[in-house]
Every structure is written in structure tokens, then in C-alpha cells.
């Protein structure tokens, strides 16, 4: 079933669902599969590339001689490599996210970047007026290519630029994750603002709350850079409402994410101890994909999530029971002040 | 956090979501957890018991001294024990389904029956007139208690009764699963009708199609027994429509279930070979929970599921692309006749 093996495979341009072209170069992955002599692998691609996943699979089957199974489940990051599949496959090829060095997998995971190729130079010119030197430059995983362009661009315009190193969850300088802003916080005393290459509000607001500094978001798929502080009030009001509602709760479910990079068991146990000390009922819950129906079925008055920090913030409108982050629970229980509010981040010692 | 250990724990009556009382006796499970010296376990209960799961967890924590995490994901059978959790826990307590002996788990799974206590005697009297001797008596996992009552009841009314043994997926005489009717087929030459203690249409129709015999369903939660043949036409029309639609498909996704008891890799490979022989595009897909959105994202013209056989039949209205069983694909490809139609069953040599 596997065709002849050509000498060299060039990078493939894969069209994403939202019509951005991503550059997916399989050369290293194919070499690695051959080196491992893996005969059966799982292939995980981001949601927007799903329709072309069979093409990537075919490339791998034809050129690496391994049988490929496409992973249908949506994938939200390197924390979300489906480790249970290692009972069936010899390796997983994961497209679209950088590795998280702190996560240990039981079998090889081969990370393939999916880098977009959008020019940021026009937006950069508009962003300069909003930024205050020195500028910390940061980017989400999908935009590491443009991170380099942005640094070069700012420097060529004479701006002082800083790049931070991350902790053990970060594999690339300047990269931030929804659960980790250490490349930003490590330079917070040396910068007066941040330029974030990314999309949405979550990451930028997270960095702003963690550092107290101005954050400008440059989304390569939009026309104008945005100052993140505009979104702050609405989100903080939502969080305040959730905290107030949870103050009346008697029973709490403490959710531990099942995904391989989200299993913060130690943090969950700490929170359970804290809740019991405050005379609240507290149970530990394992959850894979979050879903309001699952919380409703379990019937607790309020929930705390130690899994992906984005869920409580981004999906707030979906949940009728309060779904808090660990910091927010600490505010509910009176051991943290609202003035110390920041988004949840994951550190090694919580797992 | 763990309270004092009493000498003996009696069975707990747990109220299910639909107001039926289930008898959940944790005595054996607690003894087994102690014997294993398991310090941390996951607890999986059926959907209708979720609201009382924390009580079962508390019982286990107080009496077995193990930390318990509640599994929030819905659970559809013993095939659906979340084996990935073995990276976090030392054992899983699974309430509500019988073990499937053919499945090998990497760590201990402790099965706790949840037996309902509804009397079947009134319905049994009504069912007798519909049955033809000898009667094969079968039941789904939740109704094994009532299986015994039904056998006794029929015999006391002077009826000849047969009970079949199952293959390696079956742990109890007379028990049928949605993927396995071997306790029925093993006695098909010796009986003239079946009495099935269970609910819904799926299992009964499956037995009818597999054996050609009349099936009467006695649902302990309803008032009247039902002859299954009434539902046959509608479902077969739906299946015929899906098959016809799939005849025009050029690309097929062959779905392998990720759940530990549904991984029919060999069967999927056979189907892929067959599709390629018939000059169709065919890719292997791994899927955990089925969802029409996931199929839409992947973009194949038609799908074949080697996972739980119920999905294609029960959820037909949810899918706009044809979702076939392996038998149905064989009909599409002309290697099986429509007259040989039956529901999909799982056998050991397909994994």
C-alpha cells in the first residue's frame, strides 16, 4: 500500500480553514519516523488544517513507510497530545504547536511547526506609536516566525527591544502559552511595554495582568494593532461576578485536566485542603474536554479548574455554575485579595 | 482528610437520574482497594448516578483510605474504561457495567454492579402470550438481576427456557452487549423466540437480525412488553438510505474507536484494503467521542465506524455524511448482499 520512497520531500503548503497558508515541512518528521523505525503513528493537526490532514498522512505513508491514523479529536496545544494513543501507536506526529519541555511522554512525540507567512511590516509601523521603549516582544506558538520579523522590524526603526527566556514549559525565546507568561514576566523590570504577536484577547490580557505593563497585540490576520487594556474591564467584571456567586457555594468540584500537560494534581490537592479548612465540601474531578453539561450532571454548587486557564475566562458565558481559576478560589476563600488578581499560570511544582 | 474506618460497609442505595433505585454494594470494591493498597483511584459511574458520585467517593475515601477522583466524562460501557487515567491513578472503580473479559487493562479495574430492583412479574404475564417456546432469555448488563427473576418466572408458568453462554466479551450467561449477541446466537437453533430484559430498540433488533427469531423486549421501567419487529422497517430504511448515499462516495474515513475496548485496528485495516481494491480513497481515523462536527472537519465523503456499533444506528439523524457499519460498507462495495444484513458485532480477532 505504501508507494516508493523519494529521496527528498519538500515542505508542503497547507491551506488552513480560515484561508491562511501555513508552511508544514515534513522533512524532519519523516527522517525521525524512519530513524525510530515506527510502523504505525498517529497524526494530530490543528482544527483549521483537518481537511488537509489526509494529504499530510499520505505524504508520511509514502515517504516514511509508516501507517498513519488521523486523530479526529480537536487539539488545543502541546499539553493536549493524546497519550492514551501510545497503547496503539509507536509515535505521534503533532503539527502546529511547539513542544512543552516539562512534559514527559511515554513514547516519541514528533513536533512539526505550522508557521504562517503573513507580513507584519505595515502593522508594525502603526504599532510603534503605541509602544514605550524598551519593548518586550512576545508571540504565541503559531506566530514565532513573525516574532523574528517583528524584532527585526522594531530594531530597524531604532526601538530598544527585549526578549525573555521562559521556564520549563517554554521551548522558544519570546514564546508565551495560555498557561505560561514567563518569557514576559522574566523581563518585566526591564521593559515599559510589550508587543504581542498573536490573536484574541486572552494572552495579551494575561500578560498585562501579570506584569502591569501596557500590551499591544499585533494579529497578523487583522489590519490594526490593538491595545489590550480595552478588553480588561469587561473580563474583570465577569470574573468578579463569578467570584461573588461562588461565595454562596457550599460544595465545590475541583477539576483536574486529563490532558497529559494539564494534570495539576498537587495544586488540586492544595485547593481541596484549603476548601476543607474553610468548611466547604470539596471533591476531586477528572475531566478531559470541558462541557457545561458535565458540570451540571455532577451537581456541585461551584467548580475550580486546575486545567487549561483559558476555559474559565473564554467560555464564561457557557456556564451557569461559577467556574473559577485557582487564584479566584483563593479570593473567594479570603486568602488572596482582588487587587492581586491575575490569570492562572502553570508551574512544574503543581503537577 | 480520611475518616475512621468502620468494620463493615453495607450496600448503598443510589438514586439514579430517572428515579430508579440502584443497589450499589461497595463492600467488595473497598476490600479490593485495600488489598491492592491503592492510594489514588478514579471512580466512574453511569450518567444517571453522577449527582450521587461524590457520596460513593466519600464512602470509598472513608472506608478504603484511598484518594478518589470522580471521572466527569460520560461512560458508555466496560469498553469505555478511561485507560489513559492509569498514568495518574493506581486503580479504576467502574460502576454499572459487567466486565468484558477479552479486554486487558494495564492496571486493576474494579467492577461494581449497579442493579435495579424493579419487579418484572406483571409484565412477564403479559409477555408469555407473545412468546413461542423454547424461549431464549437474555438481558443487558443493567438488568442481570431481573434476568434471573424472568427465568424463574417463565419456568414457574411452565415455559421451556434456554440461556446461552457468550464469547470472550461476555462475563455473565444470558448477557448481551450492543456489540455482542453471542449469548443469543449460541442458542438460536434451540429456541423459537427471545425475551430480552432491556430498554430501547437497538439490542432487540440486533438479536432479531442476527437470529431471524422473534424478540420480545421487557423494559422493567415501562408497563407493556414490546415486539421488536415493529421498529425494524424504519431502521432498515434508514440504513438502506445511508448505503445508497455512500455508493456515490469517492473518499472514505475508516474510524477506529479510541476507547480501550473498541480498538478494532485489524478490522479497519481489512476495510481499508477492500476500499483500495475497489479504487476508493481510504484513510484511517482515530476518534474518541463521536460527533458530527468532527466528521465534517475531516471532510471525507463517507465514513465507516469500527467503534461502538450503536452510534451509526442510534444517531443516524445527526450525521449528514453517511456513517456506515463494516457490514454496510461491504454491501456498498458489492461483497455482501442486502439480504445478509445484520448489525455489527465485535469479535476478538478484529482487534
Closest to B105 in 3D by CA, of B121, B93, B115, B95: B93
Query: What phi and psi, each to the nearest 5 degrees, are found at residue A135?
Result: -105, 125
Query: Chain B partners of A83 at a C-beta cutoff of 8 Å?
Result: 84, 87
pLDDT band at A20 (very low <50, low <70, confident <90, very high): low
- Architecture, CATH, for domain A121-224: 3-Layer(aba) Sandwich (3.40)
pLDDT per position as a tens digit, A86-106 = 999 999 999 999 999 999 999
d(CA B316, CA B242): 9
Shortest Cα–Cα distance, A296 to chain B (Å):
9
Residue in chain A nearest B252 by alpha carbon:
A54
Q: Which residues of A touch B286 (CB under 8 A)?
A: 42, 69-73, 82, 85, 88
pLDDT band for position A181 (cuts 50, 70, 90):
very high
Contact B228, B204 (CB under 8 A): yes
Interval A301-334: pLDDT, tens: 999 999 999 999 999 999 999 999 999 999 999 9
Q: Which of B16, B71, B286, B287 should one mutate to test binding to chain A, selecting the residue with the greatest count of A CBs within 10 A?
A: B286
Name chain A contacts of B287, Cβ cutoff 8 Å.
72-73
- B351 C-beta neighbours (distance < 10 Å), count: 15
- Do B205 and B213 touch, CB atoms closer than 8 A? no
Q: Supply B103's cell numbers.
A: 479486554
Q: Chain A: give the shortest CA distance to residue B194, in Å.
A: 35
DSSP lists the bridge partners of residue A41 as A68, A91
Query: Residue B84 and residue B88: Cα distance in Å, rounded?
Result: 8
The pLDDT averaged over each successive group of 10 residues in chain B (351 residues) is 31 46 89 98 94 96 98 94 95 96 96 87 96 97 93 97 97 97 98 96 97 96 91 94 98 97 98 98 97 96 98 96 98 97 94 95
Closest chain A residue to the Cα of B44, Cα to Cα = A286
Record: contact B256-A299, CB cut-off 8 A = no
Question: Where does the pLDDT of residue A234 fall: very low under 50, low under 70, confident under 90, or very high at 90 and above?
Answer: very high
In angstroms, the separation between the Cα of residue B259 and the nearest Cα of chain A is 9
Assess contact for B346 and B179: CB atoms under 8 A.
yes
Cell digits for A9?
Answer: 520531500
Which residues face A111 on adjacent strands? A94
CB contact under 8 A, A84 and B88: no
Nearest by CB to B284, which of A70, A82, A260?
A70
Bridge partners for A218 per DSSP? A197
Contact: A287, B73; criterion CB under 8 Å: yes
Total length of chain A: 351
Determine the pLDDT at residue A11.
Answer: 45
Nearest C-alpha in B relative to A296? B51
Chain A: closest CA distance from residue B76 (Å): 14
* More confident of the two residues A135 and B16: A135
Chain B residues whose CB is inside 8 A of the A69 CB are: 256, 284-286
For residue A125, give the C-alpha cell: 509601523
- Residue B256: name the closest of B271, B276, B244 by CA: B271
Residue of A nearest to B46 (CA): A297
Name which of A49, A72, A92, A265 to mutate to probe chain B: the one with the most chain B Cβ atoms within 10 A of its Cβ: A72
User: b vs e for A24-45, b when ≥16 Cβ sit within 10 Å of the residue's Cβ?
Assistant: bbbeebbebbeebebeebbbbb
The enclosing H or E element of B44 equals strand B40-44
Judged by phi (left if over 0) then psi (alpha if -120 to 50, else beta), residue A223 lies in alpha
Q: Do domains B121-224 and B233-350 have the same CATH topology?
A: yes
Burial of residue A91, with CB atoms counted within 10 A of its CB: 0-12 exposed, 13-18 middle, 19 or more buried: buried
Q: Cα B161 from chain centroid?
A: 24
State which fold the A12-115 domain adopts. Answer: Rossmann fold (3.40.50)
Query: In this complex, how many residue pairs, one in chain A and one in chain B, have their CB atoms less than 8 Å apart?
Result: 130
Report CB contact under 8 Å: B50, A283.
no
Q: Which residues of B touch A75 (CB under 8 A)?
A: none
Q: How far is B267 from chain A (nearest CA, A)?
A: 14
C-alpha distance from A114 to closest chain B C-alpha (Å): 18
What does the pLDDT average to over A11-34? 72
Q: What percent of chain A has pLDDT over 90?
A: 88
**Which chain B residues are closer than 8 Å to A43 by Cβ?**
none
Nearest residue on chain B to A74, alpha-carbon basis: B294
Question: Searching chain A, which residue's CA lies closest to the CA of residue B262?
Answer: A88
Compute how many other C-beta atoms are within 10 angstroms of the C-beta atom of residue A46: 22
How many beta carbons lie within 10 A of that of residue B102, not counting itself? 17
Q: In 3-state terms, what secondary structure has residue A243?
A: helix
Per the structure block, which three cell numbers stand in for B78? 466496560
Closest Cα partner for A213 from A236, A233, A190? A190
The whole-angstrom distance between B141's CA and the closest CA on chain A is: 22
Q: Could you tell me the CA-to-CA distances from A158 to A125, A135, A345 in Å, in that order?
A: 12, 11, 33
The DSSP letter of residue B41 is E
pLDDT tops 80 at residue A3? no
Helix (H) or strand (E) holding A32: helix A27-36
**Cα–Cα distance between A189 and B312 in angstroms, integer?**
58
CA–CA distance, B154 with B161 (Å, rounded to integer): 7
With contact defined as beta carbons under 8 Å apart, do A177 and A202 qualify? Answer: no
ipTM of the complex model: 0.91
Maximum Cα–Cα distance across chain A: 67
SS3 A187: coil
CB-nearest partner of A87 from B83, B284, B295: B83
Whose cell is 473564554? That residue is A314
Q: Which strands make up the sheet holding B109-112, listed edge to edge? A: A323-324, A302-305, A251-257, A281-287, B67-71, B40-44, B91-95, B109-112
The cell for B233 is: 422497517
Confirm if B66 and B41 have CB atoms less than 8 A apart.
yes
Q: For residue A92, what are the contacts with CB-CB under 8 A and spacing of at least 6? A: A41, A42, A43, A44, A71, A81, A82, A85, A86, A105, A107, A108, A109, A110
- pLDDT at site A118: 87
> Tens digits of per-residue pLDDT, A200-219?
999 999 999 999 999 999 99
* Residues in chain B closer than 8 A to A67 (CB atoms): 284
What is the mean pLDDT of the segment spanning A252-264?
97
Instruction: List chain A residues with CB under 8 Å of B87.
Output: 83, 106, 260, 263
Burial class (CB in 10 A: 0-12, 13-18, 19+), B251: middle
Cis peptide before B328 (omega within 30 of 0): no
For chain B, the domains span 12-115, 121-224, 233-350
Return the CATH fold of B233-350. Rossmann fold (3.40.50)
Please give the grid coordinates belonging to residue A112: 512539526
Cα–Cα distances in Å, from B216 out to A174, B117, B206? Answer: 67, 21, 12
Distance (Å) from the alpha carbon of B254 to chain A's nearest alpha carbon? 9
- C-alpha cell read off for A324: 473559577
Cis peptide leading into B134, omega within 30 of 0?
yes
B73 CB neighbours in chain A (<8 A) are 258, 286-288, 294
Q: What share of chain B is helix, strand, coil (3-state, %, to 5)?
A: 40, 20, 40
Residue of B nearest to A298 (CA): B51
* List of chain A residues whose C-beta atoms are within 8 Å of the C-beta of residue B278: none
At residue B21, the pLDDT reads: 63
Q: Report d(CA B72, CA A307) in Å as an integer.
A: 13
Of B1, B70, B299, the CB nearest to A286: B70
DSSP string, B269-300: HHHHHHHHHTT-EEEEEEESS--HHHHHHHT-
Question: How many CB atoms are located within 10 Å of the residue A244 CB?
Answer: 12
Work out whether the CA dihedral A75, A81, A85, A90 comes out positive or negative.
Answer: positive
Predicted local confidence at residue B20, as pLDDT: 53
User: How far is the alpha carbon of B339 from chain A, nearest alpha carbon, in Å?
Assistant: 32
Contacts of A84 in chain B (CB under 8 A): 82-84, 258
Q: How far is B338 from chain A (nearest CA, A)?
A: 29
For residues A339 and A312, what is the distance between their CA atoms, to the nearest angstrom? 19
- Give mean pLDDT, residues A79-83: 94
DSSP string of B152-213, one letter each residue: HHHHHTT--EE-----TT--STTB-BTTB-HHHHTTTTT-SEEEEESSSSHHHHHHHHHH-S
Chain A residues with CB inside 8 Å of B47's CB? 297
Amino acid at each position: 500500500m505504501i508507494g516508493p520512497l523519494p529521496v527528498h520531500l519538500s515542505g508542503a503548503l497547507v491551506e488552513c480553514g480560515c484561508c491562511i497558508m501555513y508552511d508544514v515541512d515534513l522533512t524532519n518528521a519523516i527522517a525521525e519516523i524512519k530513524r525510530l523505525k515506527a510502523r504505525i503513528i498517529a497524526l494530530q493537526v490543528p482544527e483549521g488544517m483537518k481537511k488537509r490532514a489526509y494529504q499530510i498522512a499520505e505524504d508520511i505513508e509514502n515517504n516514511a513507510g509508516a501507517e498513519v491514523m488521523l486523530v479526529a479529536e480537536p487539539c488545543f496545544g502541546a499539553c493536549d497530545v493524546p497519550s492514551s494513543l501510545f497503547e496503539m501507536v509507536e509515535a505521534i506526529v503533532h503539527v502546529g504547536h511547539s513542544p512543552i519541555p516539562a512534559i514527559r511522554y511515554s513514547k516519541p512525540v514528533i513536533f512539526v511547526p505550522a508557521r504562517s507567512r503573513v507580513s507584519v511590516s505595515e502593522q508594525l509601523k502603526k504599532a510603534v506609536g503605541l509602544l514605550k521603549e524598551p519593548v518586550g516582544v512576545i508571540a504565541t506558538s503559531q506566530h514565532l516566525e513573525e516574532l523574528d520579523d517583528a524584532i527585526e522590524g522594531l530594531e530597524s526603526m531604532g526601538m530598544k527591544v527585549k526578549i525573555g527566556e521562559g521556564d520549563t514549559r517554554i521551548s522558544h525565546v519570546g514564546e508565551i502559552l495560555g498557561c505560561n507568561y514567563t518569557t514576559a514576566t522574566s523581563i518585566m523590570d526591564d521593559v515599559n511595554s510589550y508587543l504581542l504577536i498573536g490573536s484574541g484577547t486572552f494572552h495579551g490580557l494575561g500578560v498585562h495582568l501579570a506584569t502591569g505593563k501596557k500590551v499591544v497585540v499585533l494579529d497578523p490576520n487583522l489590519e490594526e494593532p490593538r491595545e489590550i487594556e480595552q478588553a480588561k474591564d469587561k473580563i474583570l467584571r465577569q470574573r468578579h461576578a463569578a467570584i461573588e456567586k461562588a461565595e454562596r457555594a457550599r460544595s465545590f468540584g475541583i477539576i483536574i485536566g486529563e490532558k497529559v500537560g494539564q494534570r495539576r494534581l498537587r495544586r488540586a490537592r492544595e485547593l481541596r485542603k484549603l476548601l476543607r479548612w474553610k468548611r466547604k465540601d470539596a471533591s476531586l474531578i477528572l475531566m478531559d474536554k470541558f462541557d457545561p453539561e458535565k458540570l451540571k450532571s455532577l451537581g456541585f454548587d461551584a467548580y475550580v479548574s486546575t486545567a487549561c486557564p483559558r476555559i474559565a475566562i473564554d467560555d464564561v458565558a457557557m456556564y451557569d455554575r461559577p467556574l473559577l481559576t485557582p487564584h479566584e478560589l483563593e479570593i473567594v476563600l479570603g486568602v488572596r485579595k482582588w487587587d492581586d488578581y491575575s490569570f492562572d499560570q502553570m508551574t512544574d511544582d503543581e503537577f
